[in-house]
Amino acid sequence: MSIVVTGATGHLGTLVINELLNRVPAEEVAAVVRNAEKAAPLAERGVELRIADYDSPATLRDVFRPGDVVLLISGSEVGRRIPQHTAVIEAAKAAGVARLAYTGVLGGPDADFKLADEHKATEQAILDSGLTYTFLRHGWYTENYTEQLPVQLEHGVAGSAGDGRIGLATRADYAAADAVVLTEQGHENKAYELSGDTAWSLAEYAAELSRQSGKEVSYHDLPAEAYRSVLTGAGVPEPMAQILVDVDTSAIARGLLQGGTGELARLIGRPATPVADTIADALKG
């Protein structure tokens, strides 16, 4: 039996593997990756590599073993996730894995914004499969904003979220929670609503960035169409731009990503990383 992480060389997957290696021996961890060369650093740490591609169901047939505990990290290509995730679910069921955990979105079946659609469909497919599951419903990552610091410092923070608040936490926080669930018993057939401890508005985020950087950074709350134009002008593909605008107007503005359950902090046994700390780290470069 192994703990198997799919998408293991992505931003989140890399952090989950790091957390697992702090908790269990490397020989108990397996990474499902598309490119063995890219994953070579994992192999050097003793992690077993299993080569497969979400888009090639045949490659998934032999990557899981009876009794494995599997983390399905959601694919990054919006619009293609349902067939990709379905292929993983079917392969996991055929292999007889012990449990399948999935990184969905805060709110689960109650999340009624576009980005949540594929996550909800995936959760339902897992339920329909009959597999023992754990749903890890991630909130918004602080890095979704701090990775844009150069643009924000020059042009300000743009969005269409109004005064909506976001329970931000870092990818590392969520990865720590994922690793806890993968390595401990008692999480079978449970769903966790994960978010930061404090919810921030984008205006408050801009004010904190101003305070720490010494530059005046404002939040520009734009009409949806204007924000879409900003995103596409920055090179975001039109379909993704529409989804990001919808996240602001249909999720953040309505409080659907505010969180507040405290489940993330309880799982990891510490407070979630404060947004101010993440901004400070990002400013250091």
pLDDT digits (tens, 9 = 90+) for 197-247: 999 999 999 999 999 999 999 999 999 999 999 999 999 999 999 999 999
pLDDT of residue 285: 80
pLDDT tens for each residue of 168-190: 999 999 999 999 999 999 999 99
Q: Give residue 29's pLDDT.
A: 98
pTM over 0.85: yes
pLDDT band at 4 (very low <50, low <70, confident <90, very high): very high
| Phi and psi angles of residue 206, each rounded to the nearest 5 degrees, phi first | -65, -40
Work out the average pLDDT over 74-92. Answer: 93
Band (pLDDT 50/70/90 cuts) for residue 275 is very high
Superfamily of domain 3-138: NAD(P)-binding Rossmann-like Domain (3.40.50.720)
- CA neighbor of 37 nearest in space, from 73, 7, 71, 9: 9
Query: What's the CA gap between 239 and 282, in Å, rounded?
Result: 28
Strands (E), 12-166: 29-33, 48-51, 69-72, 99-105, 133-138, 157-159, 165-166
Task: Grade residue 283 by pLDDT with cuts at 50, 70 and 90.
Answer: very high
pLDDT at residue 216, as a whole number = 97
Per the prediction, the chain carries an average pLDDT of 96
């990383």: which residue's tokens? 273
Is the per-residue pLDDT at 79 higher than 90? no
76 pLDDT band, cuts 50/70/90, is confident
**pLDDT tens, position by position, 124-154:** 999 999 999 999 999 999 999 999 999 999 9
Task: Supply 238's token pair.
Answer: 């039109």
Q: pLDDT value at position 77?
A: 84
Residue length of the chain: 285
Which CATH number is 139-169+195-259+269-285's, of 3.90.25.10, 3.40.190.10, 3.10.20.30, 3.40.50.450?
3.90.25.10
Give the separation between CA 17 and CA 175, rounded to whole angstroms: 8
Q: Cβ atoms within 10 A of the Cβ of 171, count? A: 20
Long-range CB pairs of 48-52, under 8 A, 24+ apart, other chains included? 48/2, 50/4, 52/6
**Tokens 């920055």 correspond to what residue?**
234
Look up residue 114 and give its two tokens. Answer: 């576009």
Domain boundaries, the chain: 3-138, 139-169+195-259+269-285
- CA contacts within 13 A on the Cβ side of 4: 28
- Determine the pLDDT at residue 261: 95
| DSSP letter, residue 111 | -
**pLDDT in the model for residue 18:** 97
Confidence class of residue 1 from pLDDT cuts 50, 70 and 90? confident
65 pLDDT above the threshold of 90: yes
Distance from C-alpha of 60 to C-alpha of 38, rounded to nearest angstrom: 19
pLDDT > 90 in the chain, percent: 96
Question: Residue 139: what pLDDT?
Answer: 97
